[in-house]
Amino acid sequence: VKKRRVLVLVHPTLIPPASLRGRSAREIEEWRVEFDVVAALRGLRHDVRILGVLDSLIELDATLRDWRPHVVFNLLEEFNGIVSYESHVVAHLELMQQPYTGCNPRGLMLARDKLLCKQLLVAAGIRTPAFHAVAPGSVLRLPAVLKFPLIVKSARDDASLGIAQGSVVRNLAQCHARVRFMHRQFGAVALIEEYIPGRELYVAMLGDMRPRTFPVWELQFGRLPASMSRIATRHIKWDRAYQHRLGIGPRRAMDLPRKALTHVTSTARQAYRALQLSGYARIDFRMREDGELFVLEANPNPNLARIEDFATSAAAAGIHYEKLIGQIVATGLAHRAEWRS
C-alpha cells in the first residue's frame, strides 16, 4: 500500500490511547472504534494524525493547510453535540476540496433523518414499515391504516437511543404514553411504525457507484425470554455481558434460501442508491415469516469496531480488518466529488 497522510477526525473525548494495557473493559468500549481504526491505519504503515473536533473547525482547517492530508478518516458523528450537524462537517471538507472516507453530506443528511429516509424509500418503491410522525407539541391522531402492535422511536437518534421493551405498544393508551415519553425525554419527532415480527437482517456495503455487498448478517436473539419483544433495545445492543449470557448477537444469516438472500442484497443496493449513499453503510431489514422484506433503516458510516457486524461480515467475505480499513481509505480517495469535475 502507498503510504498516505491520514487525518483521523474523532470526538475529543474519544482520542484513543496508544495501547490497551491497563484499561478497563468499560473504557475500551468508549473508544473501541477509534482505537481499532487507528491501529489498522498504522498497521498499513500510513502516516496517521488524530484530531479531536468539538465545536470549531479552526484547528481542522489549519491542519488541512499545513499538513495536507491525502485523506480525512471521518469518525465524527456530531458537531457541538448536535447529531444533525454531522453532515455539515463533511460538507465543509467537500468545500475545502479535501478527500474523506465514508458517506457524502447529502447521503448523510437523507439517511440520518428517519422520516425523510422512509419517504425516499417509499418513493423508490422499496418497502418500509407503514409509519406516522408526531412532532413535539402536536397531538397524536393515529391513522386507521396503522395496525397494532406498533413501535415508537425517535426520528432523529440512532444507536437504539430510547429503544426499550416499552417501545412496542399494543393499544392507543400505550402509544400515547410512549409518544409523550419520547417527546419529553428526547425532544425529537416521534416516529410510529408498524411492528414487523420476524428476522432482523443486516447488509454491509462498501463502495460508491457499484458498492459491493458482504454476506447477509442476522441479529440472533438467542435465549431472550419469549415474553420479550425481539428488538435491538439499547440494552441488547450495548450490554456485552447480557449478550454473552443470552447468546445474543449478530451472526451470519443461516438457512435463508438463495432467492431470499439475493432479494435482501438487491434491495440493499436499491436503498443505497435511493438514499444517495457513498463510502460504506449498513442497511437494516426485517423479514417476515411470509418472506416479505422491509427496510428498517440505513446507517451510513456504521460502527467500524473490529468486533462489530460491519467488520465481521467483511471478514466472512475474506476481507480481514486491516484490508477493510484500507479499502475504506481507497474508496474515499477515489470518490468522485463534484469539485473534481
Ligand X SMILES: Nc1ncnc2c1ncn2[C@@H]1O[C@H](COP(=O)(O)OP(=O)(O)O)[C@@H](O)[C@H]1O
Nearer to ligand X among residue 57 and residue 133 (C-beta): 133
Nearer to ligand X among residue 128 and residue 213 (C-beta): 128
Q: Is 163 in the site for ligand X (CB under 6 A)?
A: yes
Of 46, 112, 178, 286, which one interacts with ligand X (CB under 6 A)? Answer: 286
Element (H, E) at 31: none
| Cα gap 151→192, rounded to integer Å | 6
With contacts defined by CB under 6 A, name the span among 29-37, 104-112, 136-144, 151-159 that binds ligand X.
151-159
Among the listed residues 218, 187, 190, the one whose alpha carbon sits nearest the alpha carbon of residue 202: 218
Q: Is 192 in the site for ligand X (CB under 6 A)?
A: no
| Cα gap 297→154, rounded to integer Å | 12
121-140 positions binding ligand X, by CB under 6 A: 129
Q: Is 178 in the site for ligand X (CB under 6 A)?
A: no
Question: Which string of x and - marks every residue 205-234 that binds ligand X (by CB under 6 A)?
Answer: --------------------------xx--
- Give CA angle at 206 (202, 210), nearest 5°: 110
Among the listed residues 205, 328, 336, the one whose alpha carbon sits nearest the alpha carbon of residue 273: 205
Whether residue 92 contacts residue 337, with contact meaning beta carbons closer than 8 Å, is answered with no
With contacts defined by CB under 6 A, name the span among 100-108, 140-148, 160-168, 249-257 that binds ligand X.
160-168
| Cα gap 20→37, rounded to integer Å | 14
Q: Is 193 in the site for ligand X (CB under 6 A)?
A: yes
- Give CA angle at 40 (35, 42), nearest 5°: 95
| Cα gap 188→183, rounded to integer Å | 6
Q: Is 282 in the site for ligand X (CB under 6 A)?
A: no
With contacts defined by CB under 6 A, name the span among 36-44, 158-166, 242-250, 331-339 that binds ligand X.
158-166
Q: Which residues are at the interface with ligand X (CB under 6 A)?
A: 129, 151, 153, 158-161, 163, 193-196, 200, 231-232, 284, 286, 296-297
